[in-house]
Structure 1
Amino acid sequence: MRGANPFVEWIVKVAQPCNLACDHCYVYELLDRTWRHKPAVMANGTADQLARRIAEHARRHALSRVRVTLHGGEPLMAGRSRIEHLLKVLREELRGTAVCDISVQSNVTLLNPSWMDLFHRHGVSVGVSLDGGREANDRHRRAKNGRSSYDSVQRGLELLRRPENKALFAGLLCTVDLANPPLDVFEDLLAHEPPAINFLLPHATWEHPPPGHDPNRTPYANWLLEVFERWYTAPRQETRIRLFEDLMDLALGGHVRSESTGLADTDFLVVESDGTIELADSLKATRDGGPATGLDIFAQDFDSVARHPVVADARRGGLAALADVCRGCEVVRLCGGGLRAHRFSPLTGFANPSVYCADLRVLTTHIRDRVVADATALLGSAS
């Protein structure tokens, strides 16, 4: 894979269906409809081939560690036996080659002690999708019959927070909704004692802007900055917030490999339940088949995938991948031009600033100035 970084993470769609009907879901509620034609769950033979391909890639690039995230839909709908088969074959194929960090991103409404026993045996951490307290969460994350999902999520989280299970709690993923007061959301999330929280901007494009989009008032930056100040000024660290930590690292000269910040190449792929290979799920916001590559794990190894023009173009970082207006921006090294999907317009493709450009400028400038000033003051006091 000449001139390119290897892949180190695979997001695996072990189940296509979901037992909830979240109206902001980026899998089912955006423009992409290709999920309708994919098998409901990943077959064991597909899992076997995936594990072989990952191990082959790890050996070829001398990778000492790789990551696999079980995803969906709701991944627990694949069933324990099918998930265990995948976990076993990943361990077997990678034994002696690379450590495999495995996680599952779930709504935890189906989580029970049997699942936790399986996850303990295979060292699987659990990330939970949750948008805040009952009112905030139920604004979008409801069951298919329209009823609240909150009590079911609470039960799953209580199980995950038990002393014997807490080490497997990876954290919370929260989609920002301007209708939910930011500090209320943050306090409600903190009540679950998560080791980490990640905030996700609603996936949107210039054709379909996010709710409340207003470049003059930057509501998404304002929402996030209320949380940032509460988190940053706390007398002790209550949790990690990846978005803020990544921006702080970049502001202080660090190097961050992230899809949504910085200028590094992306290093992950999505593998669907039928073995087809796709780009980031966020591209489902752009058009039907937006993440599709036309490639699959049976016909191509991951080095061939990396060389494919569609994949190479989509994962390319650096200033050359951005619109002209972004290249001279003072905060481009921090925001990286924003998520690729958020730059999309039907007329000009991805050659645009992010639909969140104004918000990202305010957010990154504030965090940069705050952190650099504090670091300078600390260094001055120490000299």
Structure 2
Amino acid sequence: MTEAVRRVSTRRHRGRAPHGPAVAAQAPTFDSATAPAEPWRPHGTAAGGDDRRPRPFDQFIVKLHGRCDLACDYCYVYELRDTGWRDRPRAMAPATLDRLAARIAEHAGTHRLAAARIVLHGGEPLLAGSDTVARFAATATRRLRRVRARPDIVLQTNGVRLTTDVLDTLLRHGVRVGVSLDGDRVGHDRHRRRADGRGSHAEVTRALRLLNHPDYRGLFEGLLCTVDLRNDPVATYRALAAHRPPMLDFALPHATWEHPPPAAAPGAAPYGAWLVAAFDDWWAAARPPRVRLFDSLVDLWRGGTGGSEVVGLATASAVTVETDGSIALADWLKAVANGAGRTGLDIHRHAFDEALAIRERTTTPDGLAGLCGTCRACPVARVCGGGLRAHRFSPERDYANPSVYCRDLAALIGHVAERLAGAAGTGSPGTPGHRVVNQVRMAAE
């Protein structure tokens, strides 16, 4: 593995051209089950405009606690390539949290952000204790309001530590909750277990019953489910929907061309077929609840900007802060290589603008310009967006590849196009809808 891979990114793009046309909506990060409450226009960009300044961070992934009370075998933080968590403190110190709140407000004020999205993450953030969550949320809220930025604080949890006392604290401080759940008991407990092998499904469903209580329902933002081909897609979707989440999302297992996804045979699209089955059940049920991936594809086909980091060209502008205060770029880089994403900066000595400058020097541009030639030539590139950037990585070509899930995404995108064409009565041969479907099928082949 090259030194460039071990540092911030796998390739330094020095002297590259500025960003292409700005995207009119901000995608939520892959690290949260929740989505921003509204589409956020990139900084300084008028509708239809082209802002060539670096897009500021408006999403902050806060590693409140660096350990977890579950031992999920697919976890990208602990079980894949990165081992940095071993050398960092278990939890953020109070002084680090205070400094972080100040740095977020500083960045929001400098760039006149209307809102700053803060995702409390881990590990399991509730291991830090609800009092720590409350103190940080209060401090961040106070500082952001001083610079006229709206705080948007979300806690992403495995759910096992949610109690009425915890939820009362979150309610007082306006902290919403996203929960990880992999479907029914069998599907969930296959991976999301404690270190001694005990499943966590019963504890999570107990927590979801609390979240659905009228006192706390307003805190419930969504469910995040990792796809496992061994789980029935329809049963999985229905098990998730039974908890009445305002939103849910399906996450593909983190994989790269160096470390391909499990059970993926060359030329096959098993994850696409799985998602198609779940999509059809969602579509037939008049589409409650919202499913971020599916809603995004429908919106993209209709000319919108989506709302998912996995498809479309609206990438998240997110930065990660580890428990020691060190600054890293996108958290999913932990799935790519050990140390990928580290900047060498920390909030004690550096402003977020310094990390922004590193991101501009070291990462591929947003939009079509950041995709490889194969993707740019694809008829559905603006819908697919190349997939999650981590899934494009190979040691030989860095991110200049299609997604390792290319065929899966093409199968799902084509199916969505076919459904939309049929719903609009444009699916007969020779019509635009029919031609779109054929283009997607050709791309998948």
Scaled by the length of structure 1, what TM-score is found? 0.94
For the aligned residue pairs, the C-alpha RMSD in angstroms reads: 1.9
CA contact (8 A) 1:203 1:342 kept: yes
The separation in 1 between residues aligned to 2:364 and 2:242, in whole angstroms, is 37
The more displaced of 361-370 and 328-337 is 361-370
Cα distance 1:348–1:315, how it changes in 2: closer, same or farther (>3 A)? Answer: closer
CA contact (8 A) 2:105 2:143 kept: yes
From 287, 297, 301, the equivalent of 1:247 is 297
Map of 1:198 onto structure 2: 249
The separation in 2 between residues aligned to 1:153 and 1:288, in whole angstroms, is 31
From 366, 374, 377, the equivalent of 1:328 is 377
Map of 1:304 onto structure 2: 354
SS in 2 for 1:204: coil
The more displaced of 273-282 and 330-339 is 273-282
Matched, 1:101 2:141: no
The separation in 1 between residues aligned to 2:88 and 2:171, in whole angstroms, is 30
CA contact (8 A) 1:175 1:202 kept: yes
The separation in 2 between residues aligned to 1:125 and 1:119, in whole angstroms, is 7
> CA offset at residue 293 of structure 1?
1.9
CA contact (8 A) 1:249 1:256 kept: yes
Matched, 1:123 2:179: no
Structure 1 alignment gaps of length 5 or more: 378-383
Matched, 1:262 2:324: no
Cα distance 1:316–1:298, how it changes in 2: closer, same or farther (>3 A)? Answer: farther
From 64, 88, 104, the equivalent of 1:14 is 64
Matched, 1:288 2:342: no
The separation in 1 between residues aligned to 2:368 and 2:126, in whole angstroms, is 39
SS in 1 for 2:363: helix
Map of 2:420 onto structure 1: 371
Map of 2:47 onto structure 1: none
The separation in 2 between residues aligned to 1:98 and 1:115, in whole angstroms, is 26
> CA offset at residue 300 of structure 1?
2.2
Map of 1:152 onto structure 2: 203
The separation in 1 between residues aligned to 2:210 and 2:314, in whole angstroms, is 37
CA contact (8 A) 2:107 2:353 kept: yes
Once the two structures are superposed, residues 96-136 of structure 1 have per-residue CA deviations (whole angstroms, 9 ceiling, x without a partner) of 41111111010110111111111110111111101011100
The separation in 2 between residues aligned to 1:265 and 1:180, in whole angstroms, is 29
Cα distance 1:60–1:186, how it changes in 2: closer, same or farther (>3 A)? Answer: same
Map of 2:410 onto structure 1: 361
> CA offset at residue 265 of structure 1?
4.1
Structure 1 letter corresponding to 2:377: G
From 152, 155, 161, the equivalent of 1:110 is 161
From 328, 337, 351, the equivalent of 2:400 is 351
> CA offset at residue 274 of structure 1?
1.1
The separation in 1 between residues aligned to 2:287 and 2:107, in whole angstroms, is 37
Once the two structures are superposed, residues 275-307 of structure 1 have per-residue CA deviations (whole angstroms, 9 ceiling, x without a partner) of 111122222121111222222222222222211
Map of 1:380 onto structure 2: none
Map of 2:222 onto structure 1: 171
> CA offset at residue 323 of structure 1?
1.3
Once the two structures are superposed, residues 147-193 of structure 1 have per-residue CA deviations (whole angstroms, 9 ceiling, x without a partner) of 11111112211111111111111111000000000001011111111
Structure 1 letter corresponding to 2:159: V
> CA offset at residue 45 of structure 1?
1.2
From 55, 64, 74, the equivalent of 2:114 is 64
The separation in 2 between residues aligned to 1:298 and 1:63, in whole angstroms, is 22
Structure 2 letter corresponding to 1:135: V
From 195, 209, 213, the equivalent of 2:260 is 209
The separation in 1 between residues aligned to 2:354 and 2:228, in whole angstroms, is 39
SS in 2 for 1:294: strand
Identity %: 49
SS in 2 for 1:270: strand
CA contact (8 A) 2:234 2:278 kept: yes
The separation in 2 between residues aligned to 1:256 and 1:349, in whole angstroms, is 26
The more displaced of 149-158 and 168-177 is 149-158
Matched, 1:337 2:362: no
Map of 1:381 onto structure 2: none
Once the two structures are superposed, residues 11-70 of structure 1 have per-residue CA deviations (whole angstroms, 9 ceiling, x without a partner) of 110001100000011110001000111111111111111111111121122212121110
Structure 2 alignment gaps of length 5 or more: 1-42, 44-51, 427-445
> CA offset at residue 373 of structure 1?
4.4
Structure 1 letter corresponding to 2:343: T
The separation in 2 between residues aligned to 1:215 and 1:19, in whole angstroms, is 36
Once the two structures are superposed, residues 210-262 of structure 1 have per-residue CA deviations (whole angstroms, 9 ceiling, x without a partner) of 1111353300000001111111121x442000011111111111123542111
The separation in 2 between residues aligned to 1:352 and 1:294, in whole angstroms, is 27
Structure 1 letter corresponding to 2:325: G
The separation in 2 between residues aligned to 1:314 and 1:123, in whole angstroms, is 34
CA contact (8 A) 1:265 1:315 kept: no
